[in-house]
C-alpha cells in the first residue's frame, strides 16, 4: 500500500532572476529586513494592475512568503488575485522591471502590468 502524499501549495513563486534582483536591491538599501510587497489595485487598461514596493514590516493579516534570504509580502485583498502566480524580473529594451505571471488572469494588457479575472 502506498501512503497519502501531502501537498502544500505555495501562494506565490519567485523566479531566480527576481530573487537575484531583490537580493541586490536589499543589499543596496543596507536593510536586511526589507521584503518585496506585491499588491493589486484597481485600474490599468484591463481592470486591475500590479504594484511593487518595499516593506520592512508585516501586518498581522499579511501573507509572508519566504525564499531563502528574501521574502514577499501580500495583503489579504491582493492575495486572492495572486495565489499561484510567479514574480519575475526582466531587463530589456523597455527597461528593467518586476512582473507577474498570473494563471488567474483571463486577460492581460500588452505590457503585462494590468489584468482581468
Tens-binned pLDDT, residue by residue, of the chain (117 aa): 556 654 556 689 999 999 999 999 999 999 999 999 999 988 766 678 889 999 988 999 999 999 988 999 999 999 988 999 999 999 988 788 998 998 887 666 555 555 555
Strands 35-42 and 63-67: unpaired
Task: Check which CATH number belongs to the domain holding 56 and give it.
Answer: 2.60.300.12
Could you list the residues known to form a binding site, using ranges.
45, 109, 111
- Closest C-alpha to 73, from 9, 8, 7, 14: 14
The range of the structural domain enclosing residue 80 comes to 34-101
20 in any annotated domain: no
Could you list the residues known to form a binding site for iron-sulfur cluster, using ranges.
45, 109, 111
This model's pTM is above 0.85: no
Amino acid at each position: 500500500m502506498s501512503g497519502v502524499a501531502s501537498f502544500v501549495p505555495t501562494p506565490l513563486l519567485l523566479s531566480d532572476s527576481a530573487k537575484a534582483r531583490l537580493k541586490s536591491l536589499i543589499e543596496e538599501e543596507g536593510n536586511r529586513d526589507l521584503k518585496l510587497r506585491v499588491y493589486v489595485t484597481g485600474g490599468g487598461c484591463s481592470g486591475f494592475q500590479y504594484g511593487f514596493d518595499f516593506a520592512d514590516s508585516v501586518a498581522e493579516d499579511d501573507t509572508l512568503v519566504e525564499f531563502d534570504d528574501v521574502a514577499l509580502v501580500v495583503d489579504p485583498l491582493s492575495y486572492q488575485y495572486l495565489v499561484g502566480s510567479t514574480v519575475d524580473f526582466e531587463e530589456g529594451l523597455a527597461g528593467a522591471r518586476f512582473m507577474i505571471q498570473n494563471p488567474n488572469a483571463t486577460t492581460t494588457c500588452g505590457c503585462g502590468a494590468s489584468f482581468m479575472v
